[in-house]
A and B are shown apart, each in its own frame.
Chain A
Amino acid sequence: MTVQIAAETTGSPLINVSVFVVFVLITLFIVYKATTRNQTAADYYAAGSAFSGVQNGIALSGDFLSAASFLGISGAIAVHGYDGFLYSVGWLVAWLVALLLVGERLRNTGRFTVGDVMAYRMKQRPVRAAAANATLVITFFYMLAQMAGAGGLIALLLNVHSKGGQALVITGVGLVMVFYVLVGGMKGTTWVQIIKAGLLLICVTFMSVFIVGKFGFSFSAILDQAAAGSPLGKSLLEPGGWYGDGAMDKLDFVSLSLALVLGISSLPHVLMRFYTVPNAKEARRSVVWCSWSMFLFYLGILVVGYGAAAMVGPDAILEAPGGENSAAPLLAFKIGGAVLLGIVAAVAFATILAVVAGLTLTASASFAHDVYANVIREGKADARSEIRVARLTAIAVGFLAIIGGIVTNGQNVAFLVSLALALAASANLSTILYTLYWKRFNTTGTLWSIYGGLGSGLILILFSPAISGSSTAIFKGVDFHWFPLTNPGIVSIPLSFLCGFLGTVLSKDPADPEKQAEMEVRALTGIGSKI
């Protein structure tokens, strides 16, 4: 049975590859067309702030409808059932943080990077360096997840089973994405996101409508069929299928939930998107649009996930090359044959390309704008050399991503993303909320909350069962873990809030009231942001 499916899916690598190549060519053409000659820094980093709220909203959802959401979540629901569903709930609710607390205020205060906001009323150099460190680490983790997904997908599509062959294709993916960033900057990257998000929504909607129709418009019937085919049986539909019943498993589950809901609005590449719109009103509109498309998408993914369990079966999914991450592509093949598989796979590929391009851009912006221009050159760098540094960084980051993707190939991407989210929530959320809403917050508090959250998160991940000492660990055969949870969120997120508070209260340097006034007025009204 499994052998047969594997053979079937590889029956048409030609179609898969040609659909994908057509997509890449079309987007490359658009990127080329959209690119402004003689890019300024504002063009390269923020697309000249010229996108509308609707466009940015779709691109924003595109940024988050990553390989993790599409491949990872549908696979997690198909194999683990209810526990996979928790991810999608967390990721939808999370947009409320962006809408209510962060998005508009961030748009009004910053220009290009998260560091702009964090360092606004603080000492520039140490805070910018800290913000850039956090951005680079978070972005790197997030990128690992995307590249790992690329490996699995390639395995499925091209029937490349050898690790060496997959590594070669990951390298190819990495090169194309660096090209997008170098040529297109933020504008090109955003257009790729918009196209991709549109296609992905159409695909998921089509598949879920088809499944619901096939099961006589009864969601309950899909669930029955899914449970019948699953080794978990009825407990597929109940909590605990993935995380188990132990006390630590349950705590891990809570930790994960916390990271999911607080992480998204702290991701540097999501935050950076808010700079591509001209004002706070458009920033608000973009989150509203984004929320709607996430709402539709995750409802669809719930159906697609259980549909894959019902129609393909968890055994076949797990045995397919690519494992869990291949649930959605396999289901597409079941529904629409080789052509739909080709389209879904191309969209999934495009997703990875676009998201990784966005991440590369974020990392390069953070390094060039925060570290190079403001820390090394102390604000005296000219725009052209800054962009040159940004481009060089993009190449370096792309190189690291390729290596990382080869190492993590085969991990569940949703899980890897949850680690990046925990780090983002720990390092960024506390700092951003404090600096926007707490008058007394000062430089020491900022540094403590960034490094406290980031450091504790990294240490706990390093010594967690995710890295060593469990059957699913990245490094097998060694065991140096002492922290019992795979997700550090429940410890590191509150800790960063505490660090920020203590750093502020204990330090002797007071906050700068003049800059605080400027920042608060600007955050709430946009006065002074010269838009």
Chain B
Amino acid sequence: MTKAVRPPAPISSERATGPGFADRGTESDEPDFAAIQQSPEFDLLRKRLRRFVFPMSALFFCWYMTFALFSAYGHGFMSRKVFGSVNMGTVFGLLQFVSTITIVLLYRGFADKKIDPQVDKVRELAGADKE
């Protein structure tokens, strides 16, 4: 991937940040985003991320809504005692705590091992890290 020298004139005039915040300096050697987007390395990054993030989001959302729906419509089940005065509802709620932290740690591990290296690869190919 080469970084294009195409001057992004119409883009920078519309740029969100306005000229007042021109600490971005060298606007002219902006990378060729379309080329990066179409590169196989970027494609892999996007696929990897989406394959983890979307199913995981669906999973925790469904799991949480199960809890919420049981709390609303399953009073009998949620009131069942598990041990002492601790009932299903409380246990179910605490399981949400456990699952949340588990997903946080899973994602952290995944991002460290699978996402960050791929991001570095794409950045390197795009020449974005020249100091």
> Is B57 a contact of A97 with CB atoms below 8 Å?
yes
Min Cβ gap A487→B in Å is 12
A223, closest chain B residue (CB): B85
User: What residues on A are CB-neighbors of B87 within 8 Å?
Assistant: 237-238
Min Cβ gap B59→A in Å is 10
Q: Is B131 an interface residue (CB 8 A)?
A: no
> Is A527 a contact of B123 with CB atoms below 8 Å?
yes
Number of A-B residue pairs with CB-CB distance less than 8 Å in the complex they form: 202
User: What residues on B are CB-neighbors of A526 within 8 Å?
Assistant: 119, 123, 128
Complex Cα distance, B126 from A518, in Å, reads: 13
Q: Is B19 an interface residue (CB 8 A)?
A: yes
> Is B85 a contact of A99 with CB atoms below 8 Å?
no
> Is B108 a contact of A238 with CB atoms below 8 Å?
no
Binds B, one of A4-12, A21-29, A349-357, A374-382: A374-382
> Is B83 a contact of A99 with CB atoms below 8 Å?
no
Q: Is A137 an interface residue (CB 8 A)?
A: no
Residues 1 to 15 of chain B near chain A (Cβ within 8 Å): 11, 13-15
> Is B20 a contact of A382 with CB atoms below 8 Å?
yes
Q: How many A residues are at the interface, by size bracket?
A: 35 or more
A88, closest chain B residue (CB): B93
**Interface residues as binary, A65-92 with B (CB distance below 8 Å gives 1, 0 otherwise):** 0000000000000000011011001101
**Interface residues as binary, A258-295 with B (CB distance below 8 Å gives 1, 0 otherwise):** 10010000000000000000001100100110011001
Min Cβ gap B79→A in Å is 4
Q: Is A470 an interface residue (CB 8 A)?
A: no
Q: Is A96 an interface residue (CB 8 A)?
A: yes
Q: Is A320 an interface residue (CB 8 A)?
A: no
**Interface residues as binary, A331-367 with B (CB distance below 8 Å gives 1, 0 otherwise):** 0000000000000000000000000000000000000
User: What residues on A are CB-neighbors of B71 within 8 Å?
Assistant: 82-83, 86, 239, 253, 257
Q: Is A509 an interface residue (CB 8 A)?
A: no
Complex Cα distance, B91 from A85, in Å, reads: 11
Q: Given contacts A100-B57, A220-B83, A280-B119, could you give 19 more A-B pairs where the C-beta distance is less than 8 Å?
A: A82-B71, A83-B71, A92-B97, A96-B100, A100-B103, A110-B16, A120-B16, A221-B84, A239-B79, A253-B71, A257-B72, A287-B104, A295-B100, A373-B20, A374-B16, A521-B42, A527-B36, A527-B122, A528-B33
Would you list the 8 A-B pairs with minimal beta carbon distance, nearest first?
A220-B84, A257-B68, A383-B20, A518-B33, A379-B18, A223-B85, A238-B79, A517-B37
Pairs A–B under 8 Å by Cβ, sample size 28 = A82-B90, A93-B60, A93-B100, A96-B57, A100-B57, A100-B107, A101-B57, A124-B14, A219-B84, A220-B84, A220-B85, A235-B79, A237-B87, A239-B72, A245-B75, A251-B72, A261-B61, A287-B104, A288-B104, A373-B20, A386-B20, A517-B34, A517-B37, A521-B33, A524-B42, A527-B122, A530-B24, A530-B25
B residues with a Cβ closer than 8 A to A are 11, 13-21, 23-25, 30-31, 33-34, 36-37, 42, 45-46, 49-50, 53, 56-57, 60-61, 64-65, 67-69, 71-75, 78-79, 83-87, 89-90, 93, 96-97, 100-101, 103-104, 107-108, 111, 116, 119, 122-123, 126, 128
